[in-house]
Chains A and B, each alone.
Chain A
Amino acid sequence: MFKPIILVAKQTYRSHIKTRGFWLMVLSPLLMAAVFIGIAYAVVSMQSNTTPNLAVVDSPDISRILKADKQTLKVNISDIKNEDDAKKALKSQKIDGALLITHSGYQLLTQPKSEQIDTQVLSAILKNQQVQLKARNLGLNAAQTADLLRPVEIKTQVYQPGKTSGNNEGANYGLSVGIGIVTMTLVMMYVSMMAQEIANEKSSRIMEILLAATSPAAQYFGKILGIFALVLTQVVIYVVSGTAAIQVLSDNDIVKMLQKTLDGVTVPFVSYAVVFILSAVLLYLILTAIIAALINDQSQVQQAIQPMTYLAMFGYLVSFFLTAMPNNLFIQISSFVPFVAQSTMPTRLALSQVDWLGAMMSLLLTFVAIIVLGYFGLRVYARNVLSYSDENILKQLVNNLKK
């Protein structure tokens, strides 16, 4: 029983792993990511090379203060005699900005091609200066002035029992959407591969040759196993190349930012999310094998995989609302429903909306769904894989469930 399953799985795996199409499918997201990081890196590095020039008009005091804070402001400070000279310099693009002191405050003149000057930092420095000046006029001492200038600190931390460091909201949102995207991408890729595979064997009558030598069970489980092995291969390639990229680019700002964002993500959590995503993809593959057995020819493949696509899309959409509506009953229920739970439950766990017991329950439900669907699916598959019906797929499925 097991030997034919392994044979079918091996053949399915082998026939895809050798194709250019598979590698294109696996590597194109990596290439996209590399291009994206490359562009971002280039933009960042180009930006740092061009420090804007700011001229302070007729105010050595202000100029001195700004020069002291040059590092924070990230600009080159120079002095200029009057407004006319400043305007001339702006026109000839010698400077990117001119700071004028007016009777009501300050004015920053720029030109259309100016490099960006961070006005928030600039105004903060100037405000500090003003407060210090006023404090001195009011007769406050240095300590009192420092106290006055101390910024209000708001430290956000999500209370998560049993966890030392907390995720911030951005990370959770990113995580939830990320899991949604990964699941949907994998489902879309492999559901279509599975449906094409079975439809091809059925419509070209290769299935008859295959079933003359093996059982429908060997074909059904072998095919699911073979495609699932391809999913695992892709995931392993991504994990390995991702880890390698982080190691190689550990000094890169973007990687540092990413690491900081995902700081609170723990190994058990990642394992849980990965197992959940893989289980969900397996569940989708089983459903596809069942529905694909009802297909007569290749032209019906798109129609057949629609339900899976919608289901995956649904989970993906729910993951968008998850962070915003943690107490929504619908989202809470959906996090236990197989086919959708993988998009919501891992994130709910990360947000501590649910404890590990609940999370494991949800995963267990998906396992149960895999076994139940796998078992009943075999019956539908065996009954239909050699019959060619003119009825539409949904009607056939309903008829099969009645039997």
Chain B
Amino acid sequence: MLEIKAVTKKFGNDIAVDHLNMVLEPGRVMGLIGQNGAGKTTTFRMILDFIQPTSGSILWNNQPIDLKAKQRIGFLPEERGLYQKITVEEQILYFAELHGMRRSDARQALMEWMKRLDVVGKVTDKVQKLSKGNAQKVQLIASVIFQPEFVILDEPFSGLDPVNMSIMMSEIQRLRDQGAMIIFSSHDMNNVSHISDDLTMLKKGKTVLQGGLKEIRERYGRTKLYIESPLTMSQLRSIPGVTQVTAQENGLLVELADENVGKVIFEKATANGYIPAFSQQPPTLDDIFRMEVAADV
């Protein structure tokens, strides 16, 4: 279990991370969201001991993260980097060895990974010969080939095409199912909501949201309503508590100030019996993200 306790990081007078608390358990995925400069990468760098927190502590299984522990962490940096002029095999084996894996085991594991991720190219190819998409797959292999217990992925989806994005998502889920604890950062709320069990949102270093994904969404109430009914846009707008009505596909999307307004609308819409659609949902993660970014801390 990873425990981040009241961690603050200052750079001069700037506070990059402000009193961050976080618990991450094996077999769970934590999505770390926030705008650029929110403190996500700084948090990862503190976990990896690249920089030291100004105050607070980071413990993994009640121990500070030392070199030995670091060997069990798989890390995918935000800005990807591989040795361009070295073969795929040579560099993957090197990274695996640095993480304490035997060369022969790594060689075998590499073959399996190449096959599973469908990497086009040979292990004896230099990285510069690979396409961008295949190089991204190799980068992922480099980070996780040694079966890490803890995986840190900094913006794992950035720059990926849809095929590689789904590969990345299923690999994250696979690692989680094998018992690894995973923390990743992302701008794409769609991906975050797909694979995160827990969520932390940072804004200018401060934690503005934290908890299970479902629980966070529920916290905002079911204030989004999709309806297909005889009610017109202007009829809906006249109902007190309706803040916005927009056309969407065959129906209308209604934003509510209070989830109880949903009942009023339901009654009015079903006054003459059957309607084809009525779905009252909490705001999406994307909506929440926008709301929180817009709000003052």
Residues of chain A touching chain B, judged by Cβ–Cβ distance below 8 Å, are 4, 7-8, 11, 14-15, 19, 200-201, 204-215, 386
On whether the beta carbons of B95 and A213 are closer than 8 Å, the reply is yes
Q: Which residue of B lies closest to A12 (CB)?
A: B94
On whether the beta carbons of A205 and B70 are closer than 8 Å, the reply is no
Instruction: Compute how far the CA of A308 lies from the CA of B11 in the bound complex, rounded to whole angstroms.
Output: 33
Partner of A209, one of B84, B85, B142: B142
Instruction: Compute how far the CA of A106 lies from the CA of B69 in the bound complex, rounded to whole angstroms.
Output: 95
Q: Which residue of B lies closest to A208 (CB)?
A: B77
Partner of A205, one of B67, B81, B86, B143: B81
Instruction: Compute how far the CA of A7 lies from the CA of B219 in the bound complex, rounded to whole angstroms.
Output: 51
Instruction: Compute how far the CA of A333 lies from the CA of B95 in the bound complex, rounded to whole angstroms.
Output: 47
B83 CB to nearest A CB, Å: 6
B164 at the interface (CB under 8 A from A): no
Report, nearest first, the 9 A-B pairs whose CB atoms are least far apart.
Answer: A204-B81, A212-B75, A205-B81, A213-B98, A206-B81, A208-B77, A205-B79, A11-B94, A213-B99
B253 at the interface (CB under 8 A from A): no
Instruction: Compute how far the CA of A212 lies from the CA of B80 in the bound complex, rounded to whole angstroms.
Output: 14
**In the complex, which residues of chain A have a beta carbon less than 8 angstroms from the beta carbon of B73?**
212-213
Could you write out 6 A-B pairs with CB less than 8 Å apart?
A208-B50, A208-B79, A209-B75, A209-B81, A212-B77, A214-B70
B82 at the interface (CB under 8 A from A): yes
Partner of B50, one of A11, A200, A386: A386
Q: Mark B91-116, 1 if CB is under 8 A from A, else 0.
A: 00011011100000000000000000
**In the complex, which residues of chain A have a beta carbon less than 8 angstroms from the beta carbon of B75?**
208-209, 212
**Most-contacted residue by chain B among A200, A204, A208 (CB, 10 A):** A208
On whether the beta carbons of A7 and B97 are closer than 8 Å, the reply is yes
Q: Mark B160-202, 1 if CB is under 8 A from A, else 0.
A: 0000000000000000000000000000000000000000000
Number of B interface residues in the complex (CB < 8 A): 27
Compute the total of residue contacts between A and B using a CB distance below 8 Å: 59
B285 at the interface (CB under 8 A from A): no
Given the interface contacts A7-B97, A7-B98, A15-B90, does A211 sit within 8 Å of B48 by beta carbon? yes
Partner of A15, one of B48, B67, B83: B83
A14 CB to nearest B CB, Å: 8
Given the interface contacts A212-B70, A212-B75, does A205 sit within 8 Å of B80 by beta carbon? yes
Instruction: Compute how far the CA of A207 lies from the CA of B48 in the bound complex, rounded to whole angstroms.
Output: 13
Chain A contact surface mostly: helix
**In the complex, which residues of chain B have a beta carbon less than 8 angstroms from the beta carbon of A19?**
85
Given contacts A7-B97, A212-B77, 12 further A-B contacts (CB under 8 A): A11-B94, A15-B83, A204-B84, A205-B79, A208-B77, A209-B142, A210-B98, A211-B50, A214-B67, A214-B70, A214-B98, A215-B67
On whether the beta carbons of B82 and A204 are closer than 8 Å, the reply is yes
B214 CB to nearest A CB, Å: 32
B172 CB to nearest A CB, Å: 17
**In the complex, which residues of chain A have a beta carbon less than 8 angstroms from the beta carbon of B152?**
212
List B residues 241-290 near A (Cβ within 8 Å): none
**In the complex, which residues of chain A have a beta carbon less than 8 angstroms from the beta carbon of B95?**
209-210, 213
A402 CB to nearest B CB, Å: 16
Instruction: Compute how far the CA of A114 lies from the CA of B111 in the bound complex, rounded to whole angstroms.
Output: 75
**In the complex, which residues of chain A have a beta carbon less than 8 angstroms from the beta carbon of B85?**
19
**In the complex, which residues of chain B have a beta carbon less than 8 angstroms from the beta carbon of A213?**
70-71, 73, 95, 98-99
**In the complex, which residues of chain B have a beta carbon less than 8 angstroms from the beta carbon of A208?**
50, 75, 77, 79, 81
Q: Mark B58-75, 1 if CB is under 8 A from A, else 0.
A: 000000000100110101
Q: Which residue of B lies closest to A212 (CB)?
A: B75
Given the interface contacts A15-B83, A211-B50, does A205 sit within 8 Å of B98 by beta carbon? no
On whether the beta carbons of A4 and B98 are closer than 8 Å, the reply is yes
On whether the beta carbons of B67 and A209 are closer than 8 Å, the reply is no
Q: Which residue of A lies closest to B143 (CB)?
A: A209
Instruction: Compute how far the CA of A126 lies from the CA of B90 in the bound complex, rounded to whole angstroms.
Output: 76
**In the complex, which residues of chain A have a beta carbon less than 8 angstroms from the beta carbon of B71?**
213
Q: Which residue of A lies closest to B97 (CB)?
A: A7
Q: Which residue of B lies closest to A15 (CB)?
A: B86
**In the complex, which residues of chain B have a beta carbon less than 8 angstroms from the beta carbon of A386?**
45, 50-51
B128 CB to nearest A CB, Å: 12
A387 CB to nearest B CB, Å: 9
